Amino acid sequence: METLNILYFAWVREAIGKDGEQIEHPGAEMRIIDLIAMLKEKGAGYAEAFANPEKLRAAIDHAFVPLDCVLGHASELALFPPVTGG
Amino acid sequence: METLNILYFAWVREAIGKDGEQIEHPGAEMRIIDLIAMLKEKGAGYAEAFANPEKLRAAIDHAFVPLDCVLGHASELALFPPVTGG
Amino acid sequence: MIEFRVGADDFDAADLIARLEALGGGAVASFTGIVRGDDGLVSMRLDHYPAMTSAQISTLIDKAMERWPLLGVAVIHRVGLLSPGDRIVFVGTASRHRAAALEACGYLIDWLKTSAPFWKKEVFADGTARWVQARAEDDAARDRWG
Amino acid sequence: MIEFRVGADDFDAADLIARLEALGGGAVASFTGIVRGDDGLVSMRLDHYPAMTSAQISTLIDKAMERWPLLGVAVIHRVGLLSPGDRIVFVGTASRHRAAALEACGYLIDWLKTSAPFWKKEVFADGTARWVQARAEDDAARDRWG
């Protein structure tokens, strides 16, 4: 079974209450935005974290990607707010 | 008698062989370029320093001025090459 | 000299600058970002995405070195809990040309702010805390590099 | 904090940067120019026109502070005999805004190179010596500041 590691950062992590989770890979054709819609149904924390997808950013295997990107055979997806370092 | 202090820097100073000199003020209407032409006649070092006026820069009372500027009632004229600090 | 570090420890900006100066290039530029104590801020926590942070900073340094003739680059970014006055970030560059050193320094800090996965959370004297919001002007600063 | 010095003594760039950092602005930029040992250069002598140097640097700092919101500016320029590896010039700026700190730093060094009356003479291993020639690209760098 192919798996997908999802990582959460900043207020996404705080709302969901965990750093990340491993899920069954939803398929190479699944878009990130559609996966987010599925995750949103997993509970109140998820619903809060994913209430406004336009406030979210994503990285697949350590590279920024738009939310309408498909997962492909990525093994790591990260979901987080726009970065604020520096 | 009004006097004018002339200061020389860098290769202008080296060619003339002195840091500067005090001369009788040649008059408020005298242009720097014309004073340079007069100074050029004072000897071999002067002739060398002032051979190419386009290579010279000037300051009157600590402010850069074009060579066709008149002396006015300046008390200090400096003649030098383009600056190369920093 | 290429040096980048992401970690909780403070760093010695003077030592980094001295090492950049020793490369013989003639021009060293640096930028240091420090936690401001505005609006009653008492602490700041920096989270990051370690594997991606390293990858992004490494890529960023490569791009800067392709674009400008640099003899050295140092990028240090702190994470974890910081207080007002603490250094957050340092970018230092060395080149034979002052424009290259200064421009590369500006490029690196502009890109770091918008493409390295760090997130700041501010804690205030009244007990409130908030995640810092990304600013459009940071994206604009990055975009001027083309 | 406004500090400028012209003199033969070396200076402590780390101390200057630490003092700029302590102003609370959050952003400190610096540029250091160092004597390069290219082409067998063994020493460099910097002459200047003391009264005018002070006036020009002071004016330059005023202009930078009018143009950018700076909390601090330090400009140090050495004169006299220098060797490869020695620092010649330092410009440091502190601001609440990184763009202001970096731009003001670039502005100050570009203007210093073209409007402060310093002249460099290089001495080489073969005994020859020559006055450094002004470069058109330095004027161009200055002119981009408008």
| Nearest-CA distance D89 → chain B (Å) | 6
**Whole-number pLDDT of residue C133:** 94
Secondary structure class of D1 (helix, strand, coil): coil
Residue A3 has pLDDT above 90, yes or no: yes
Q: Which residues of D touch C21 (CB under 8 A)?
A: 32, 34, 85, 87
Helix D98-115 vs helix D136-143: crossing angle, to nearest 10 = 140
For residue range C110-140, what is the model confidence (pLDDT) as tens digits? Answer: 999 999 999 999 999 999 999 999 998 999 9
CA distances from A61 to A2, A5, A27, A53, C53 (A): 15, 10, 16, 20, 12
Which range marks the domain in which residue A37 is found? 3-80
In a domain, A32, yes or no: yes
Contact D121, D45 (CB under 8 A): yes
Q: Which of residues 25-84 of C touch D (CB under 8 A)?
A: 25-37, 84
For residue range C31-47, what is the model confidence (pLDDT) as tens digits? Answer: 999 999 988 999 999 99
Touch of A by C (3+ CB pairs closer than 8 Å): yes
Torsion angle defined by CA atoms of residues A67, A72, A73 and A76, in that order, rounded to the nearest 10 degrees:
0
Structural domains present in chain D = 2-143 (3.90.1170.40)
Residue B1 has pLDDT above 80, yes or no: no
Beta bridge pairs of residue D46: D80, D120
Q: Among residues A48, A40, A52, A47, which one has the least CA distance to residue A82?
A: A52
In a domain, A19, yes or no: yes
* Tokens found for residue B22: 């005090």
Average pLDDT value over all residues in chain C: 95
A79 part of contact set with chain C, CB < 8 Å: no
Interface mutation vs chain C, best among D19, D36, D96, D102, most C CBs within 10 Å: D102
CA distances from C65 to B78, C1, C112, D142 (A): 43, 11, 15, 24
Residue D65 has pLDDT above 90, yes or no: yes
In a domain, B86, yes or no: no
| Nearest-CA distance A52 → chain C (Å) | 15
For residue range A33-68, what is the model confidence (pLDDT) as tens digits? Answer: 999 999 999 999 999 999 999 999 999 999 999 999
**Whole-number pLDDT of residue C146:** 86
Are the beta carbons of A81 and C131 separated by less than 8 Å?
A: yes
For residue range B56-81, what is the model confidence (pLDDT) as tens digits? Answer: 999 999 999 999 999 999 999 999 99
In a domain, B65, yes or no: yes
For residue range D20-55, what is the model confidence (pLDDT) as tens digits? Answer: 999 999 999 999 999 999 889 999 999 999 999 999
Touch of A by B (3+ CB pairs closer than 8 Å): no
Q: Which residue of A has its CA nearest to C87?
A: A86
CATH number (domain holding residue A45): 3.10.20.30
In a domain, A66, yes or no: yes
DSSP state of A20: E
Are the beta carbons of C118 and A64 separated by less than 8 Å?
A: no
D105 part of contact set with chain B, CB < 8 Å: no
In a domain, B68, yes or no: yes
Interface mutation vs chain B, best among D44, D119, D130, most B CBs within 10 Å: D119
Structural domains counted in chain A: 1
Q: Which residues of D touch C27 (CB under 8 A)?
A: 31-34
In a domain, B11, yes or no: yes
What proportion of chain C, given as a percentage, has pLDDT over 70?
Answer: 100
